[in-house]
Amino acid sequence: MSFTVVAFLLTILLFGIYDARGLLKPKHNKVVVCYVASWAAYRPDKGAFSIGNLRPEFCTHLIYAFAGLNISSWTISSLDPWADTEKDVIGNYRKMTALRQQYPGIKISLGIGGWNEGSKNYSQLASSPERRRTFIASTIEFLKTYGFDGLDFDWEFPGSRGGVPDDKQNFASLVKELSDAYREPRLLLTAAISADKKTIDQAYNIPEVSKYLDHISVMAYDYHGTWDKKVLPNSPLRSNDGLSVEDSVTYLLQRGAPAEKLVLGLPMYGRTFILTKEPEESNVNPIGLPALITGFKGPYTGQEGFMGFNEICEALTKDPKDWSTGWDNDISTAYAIKQDHVVVYDNIKTIMTKVEYAKKKKLAGVMVWSIDTDDFRGDCYGSEFPIMKAINKVLANTTAFVAPPIAPNASSVQLFSYISLTLSIIMIYLTV
């Protein structure tokens, strides 16, 4: 056999290896930011979600949530050192960033903050130039140590929850200084911001922070919940009360946010309610009905007033006769009702509608909170991650989303088969 033929076959072999390990990425040019809740690993039974359950090919950006703030040293720190840095010898930080080997081109950031971290400590951090310098230096070292591509800042929220009015300017200063410091090491800087108009005005100098943030994720959910004492939508596309996705995006664009930097947040969960009185008819539209101050829990997330999409679809699939489902056209929201229990949520239809809206407004893309509450085991639809597949389907303008031919957990087996086949062909040629 000639050298040319051998070289050709070896090229096929090498391409097959690269194709098996890489080339797994969304087939569109939009941003898909996937938050991964680190505490999801502690959920019981089928709700437990670890790094091994991820399907990164559905995302362009992964964000590990969350790191925290050490107020003794004013440095970034792990909130769960055993899981983040020690588990299985290497820890989840390095497990997460190691995914880049299999998915070249994906960006993997570390989120800091979140609801439970509050606002007061970040307010104190941002108020002091010296503290900001210390913090910024610590983040660069921290991100480099664990191989992250950048930092996602999730301060909830400047100017409230223990914050002060000066937070708005101090946050802008912190963002600018982070951006300047991240330029040389080429680290990404993103932020998640509130979708509430009042909070936007109180917390963010939108034109200023937009100069320095690579992307701005809008948390377009939690517009309503049990605190309203009546059934209202968690994340309506539109509404008559000014609390909707369309209202938030329009307001941010008017305030000077560049469309090409805005990322629309999509909730992979719903809000639950317990009605004060069980309706006489089981198929009633529950929107607007009075409810108690507390909702019911899902079996995995265990949080009152909250159910992940996986929990919702499992309940509807397991007991279809007990639940009546419906759709409210005015707010483009799905709901389900069982006696005095109601859940208002985003299903595949609402998600696809919102992704189309993000495309229409020429936004940078979409964000999901959080990928670990998709139907990641495929219990409801016979296929894993139905929401993530639907998102990519709309962004790619395809009639059906086609998953990559080699799944991450099967790549090594298929890769070995491919190598064996190619080597067999070479041997046949060599004996001719």
Distance CA 131, CA 126 (A): 7
Helix (H) or strand (E) holding 354: helix 348-360
Of the candidates 165, 149, 73, 65, which has an alpha carbon nearest to the alpha carbon of residue 113? 65
User: Residue 93 — φ and ψ, nearest 5°?
Assistant: -55, -55
Burial of 428 per CB tally in 10 Å (0-12, 13-18, 19+): exposed
Q: What is the pLDDT of residue 111?
A: 98
Distance CA 392, CA 414 (A): 25
Q: Tokens representing 49?
A: 């979600």
Distance CA 299, CA 285 (A): 25
pTM of this structure: 0.87
Q: How many CB atoms lie within 10 A of CB 410?
A: 11
Q: Tokens representing 68?
A: 């925290």
Residues of the chain with pLDDT under 50: 1-23, 399-432
- Chain centroid offset of residue 5 CA: 47
Distance CA 234, CA 227 (A): 12
- Inter-residue long-range contacts of 238-244, CB under 8 Å, 24+ positions, other chains counted: 238/330, 238/331, 238/332, 239/330, 239/331, 240/330, 242/197, 243/196, 244/331
Q: What is the pLDDT of residue 406?
A: 26
Active site residues: 156
Q: What is the pLDDT of residue 27?
A: 84
